[in-house]
Amino acid sequence: MSTWTTSSLGYPRLGENREWKKALESFWKKNITHEEWKAEMKRLRLESLAKQKQRGIDWIPVNDFTYYDQMLDMSVMFNIVPERFGTFSDEIPDSAYFAMARGSEHAQASEMTKWFNTNYHYIVPEMEHAVPRLTKNIPLEAYRQAKQELGIEGKPVIIGPITYLKLAKGYDESSFAELLDTLLPLYAQVLKELKEEGVQWIQIDEPSLVASFPEKEIAHLEKAYRFFAQEVPGISIMLQTYFEGIDHYQEITSLPVAGIGLDFVHGWKKNINSLNAHGFPEDKILGAGIIDGRNIWKSDGIKKSVDIQTLQNAVPGDRIWIQPSCSLQHVPVTVKNEAKLDPVLKGALSFADEKLDEIKDLREALADGNTALLQKSSDAVGALADSEWRTRARASEKENIPSSRKASFSERRGVQQEKWQLPLFPTTTIGSFPQTKEVRVARQNVKKGTISQAEYDEFINQKIKEWVDIQEDIGLDVYVHGEFERNDMVEFFGEKLAGFAFTTNGWVQSYGSRCVKPPVIYGDVEWTEPMTVKESEYAQSLTTKPMKGMLTGPVTILQWSFVRDDMEEREVTNQIAAALSKEVEALEKAGIEMIQVDEPAIREGLPLKHSEHEHYLNWAVRAFRLATSNVKNTTQIHTHMCYSEFQDMIESIRAMDADVISIETSRSHGELIEAFETAVYDKGIGLGVYDIHSPRIPDTDEMLQMIDRALQVLPPSLFWINPDCGLKTRDIPETVDALKNMTEAARLVRKRWAQEVN
């Protein structure tokens, strides 16, 4: 019998065919009842657990399944519910849960931001005025269901108190210790009830430990886990980290827990060096995150077995759990349905189910010495490495592409003002307009061949004209064509660039029910022909108002794709930037001289260690400039960023040298504006004046308050007025009504400033 143990840290909740998303949205639209929705959620949860059991995983996570977001689940469990959503003496109803996530008619949604350096978004807890209490033991319910329904001795997963508080808002740093004291007894009660139920292992996730964790906060960490050991003696906690290597290795491995989970993929160098230098406690289990939980490439099994043998120099095999580097929620469910991919490429891919198979194969090979299964994976990885896609060795960027504009912003601003003649506080949108069922069906029909490409092009032109007319009626100053021809802001470009492949069902969750299907960058990226000129040129022909060309930036295309793992990300990004520079040039030649190159993901690529920030930002900014600098001084370059904390990278945003940048602020309640009180921003800027991810329609007064707050720190001559993000997911009536309110707010603020000038 093998002494090796396997574990998983989390599993995708979407279902193989996005059943989770479909059920959730049907429930929101009242197409199914609350009971029907709950039944479908239970079915999907049990199906996911059963698949892990079938693969022989020893420690299967429970409570990793959520109705929306795991951080939101923790907030609801501990009654961290902002007052605007109501007060509750018992359990928190689903209506309040979803109102916190999405907003309601009377309450603005809670802030949403990136989960560390991933493309997943979590709902930010609001600690202000919070009165924490345990509303119900959600992990206990998940454990009981798995055991009763499937006979699984599950491993409940909980986000740890340090990470939960560090990711929360609404308190001063000086209050951290007090809030921790409030939460620890509630955590202990959850742990105590789990132990009394017979739970053998509990996974407590503390990914904050892999970021630049201040030494002064070690005391909080030690206090929390000493408290758990004292209040719930004998509890077996696996303290789980992921996404990077840990600092303060000796302090963390000395905590009174039964196991420590470390990332030996993205944190291999740091963690293995610490392991070799300091050893590993003899009374603890090492959770060895050896299979990449964030990318979709198959591991070379032979090399992974060598890595595990390296770990055995410090920890015997019977105290090592073989597991993914992080939760598998960041990858699609299974490769088995990807019938359209090239066999060599498909053979080198591994999604969630296949990664669990890799873990099983490693255990079996290590147990009996039979490396045949591992050799099969090594051969598949080698076949891709030896393919023409990976061996052409083409230069990663063209030397003749400029990386800076011909003139400074102050010089460009004058000639652009003369050219465009825009009013004070110009209004625009971020790019996309509602993609209705009619639009989606037309896209499906052209793919199926039930309508011709010419018929589809005519349909797209009709939608463009319809929305040009709507923009005219609303009274916007700068138009967009609406992006009706685009399925996704990254996938669309990947389909037109060399070096990309596309899955049929490779969906992952971005936020809530919003799913994305990231392209796969498997080879060198090249521009082959114009990608956006046809639609932009047609849209511009319909109006005398400026029409923005819309592109996705090189860093965002990288971050929102599954990226080849044989080349540095910087090199891949430069390839993408070189390709986009040709598209920018093509747009300009076609008369499109306002061009927006969106980089909503530039911050999520920021390394978790502060010491690595400068290097990343330097090449990320340079990639943007490579893509956008080959234009005339009169051509106005816009960019857009959303749902991230930019306070610590204002200088890098300025260095991008875009003429206009739009940034989300509405969900963060204008907190980003505070960054401009200490850092002067001297280029055009639009701070989003309403949240497009919520179905509520803010009134003009609400938008005016946001505008007035921004104008306390930003010059009116550089200020633009726009929504937070693209309007693709919104309904037509709410989009039109919100934009009318926005243009009315712009009219009122113009009138007020004109009176002040006079």
pLDDT in tens, 70-109: 999 999 999 999 999 999 999 999 999 999 999 998 899 9
The binding site for 5-methyltetrahydropteroyltri-L-glutamate comprises 18-21, 114, 119, 514-515, 560, 604
pLDDT of 672 over the 70 cut: no
DSSP secondary structure letters along 706-728: HHHHHHTTS-GGGEEB--SS--T
Please give the radius of gyration of the chain, using alpha carbons only, rounded to the nearest integer.
26
Contacts of 87 (CB under 8 A, 6+ apart): 81
- Tokens encoding 252: 């963390």
State the catalytic residues.
693
Q: What per-residue confidence (pLDDT) applies to 391?
A: 72
What are the residues whose beta carbons fall under 8 Å from the beta carbon of 38, sequence distance 6 or more?
none
Q: What average pLDDT does this structure show over 12-17?
A: 95
Cβ burial of 198 (10 Å; 0-12, 13-18, 19+) is: exposed
User: What is the tens place of the pLDDT at every residue in 193-221?
Assistant: 999 999 999 999 999 999 999 999 999 99
pLDDT digits (tens, 9 = 90+) for 577-619: 999 999 999 999 999 999 999 998 888 888 999 999 999 999 9
As annotated, the binding site includes: 18-21, 114, 119, 430-432, 483, 514-515, 560, 598, 604, 640, 642, 664, 725
- Which has the closest alpha carbon to 224: 161, 156, 168? 161
Dihedral (CA of 317, 6, 60, 78) sign: positive
What are the pLDDT digits (tens) for 611-650?
A: 999 999 999 999 999 999 999 999 999 999 875 566 678 8
**Is the model's pLDDT at 2 over the cut of 60?**
no
CA dist., res. 620 & res. 612, Å (int): 13
CA distances from 111 to 114, 146, 406, 693 (A): 10, 32, 39, 11
Give tens-digit pLDDT for 343-400: 999 999 999 999 999 999 999 999 988 888 899 999 999 999 999 888 765 544 455 7
Residue 200: partners with Cβ closer than 8 Å, 6 or more residues away: 153, 155, 236
Nearest alpha-carbon partner for 119 in 632, 386, 489: 489
Q: DSSP string of 527-565? A: E-S-SSHHHHHHHHHT-SS-BEEEEE-HHHHHHTSEEPS
pLDDT score at 395: 45
Q: Under a CB-based contact definition with an 8 Å cutoff, are residues 580 and 532 in contact?
A: no
Residue ranges of the annotated binding site for L-homocysteine are 430-432, 483, 598
CB 245 within 8 A of CB 210: yes
Q: What confidence tens digit (pLDDT) does each residue in 256-302 have?
A: 999 999 999 999 999 999 999 999 999 999 999 999 999 999 999 99
Instruction: State the Cα–Cα distance between residues 126 and 128, nearest whole angstrom.
Output: 6
383 exposed, middle or buried (CB, 10 Å; 0-12, 13-18, 19+)? middle
CA distance 281 to 275: 10
pLDDT digits (tens, 9 = 90+) for 116-126: 999 899 999 99
- Which of 13-27, 45-59, 213-227, 396-410 is least confident? 396-410
Give percent above pLDDT 70 in the chain. 96
User: Residue 86: enclosing H or E segment and its boundaries?
Assistant: none
516-567: pLDDT as tens digits: 999 999 999 999 999 999 999 999 999 999 999 999 999 999 999 999 999 9
CB atoms within 10 A of CB 67: 20
Q: What is the pLDDT of residue 580?
A: 97
Amino acid at 634: T
- Is the CB of residue 683 less than 8 Å from the CB of residue 661? yes
Domains in the chain and their CATH numbers? 5-389 (3.20.20.210), 415-757 (3.20.20.210)
H helical segments located in 406-561: 409-420, 437-448, 453-474, 491-494, 533-541, 554-559
Consecutive H or E run containing 155: strand 155-159
Q: Tally the C-alpha atoms within 13 A of residue 632's C-alpha that lie toward its C-beta.
A: 13
Start-end of H helices in 167-314? 176-197, 218-231, 249-253, 268-278, 301-311
Query: Rounded mean pLDDT of 409-437?
Result: 95
How confident is the model at residue 664, as a pLDDT?
Answer: 77
Contact yes or no for 205/257 (Cβ under 8 A): no
Instruction: Count the neighbouring beta carbons within 10 Å of the beta carbon of residue 270.
Output: 19
Are 156 and 95 in contact by the 8 Å Cβ rule? The answer is: no
Residues facing 581 on adjacent strands: none
Cα 558 off chain centre by: 13
Model's pTM, two decimal places?
0.90
Provide the 3-class DSSP secondary structure of residue 369. coil
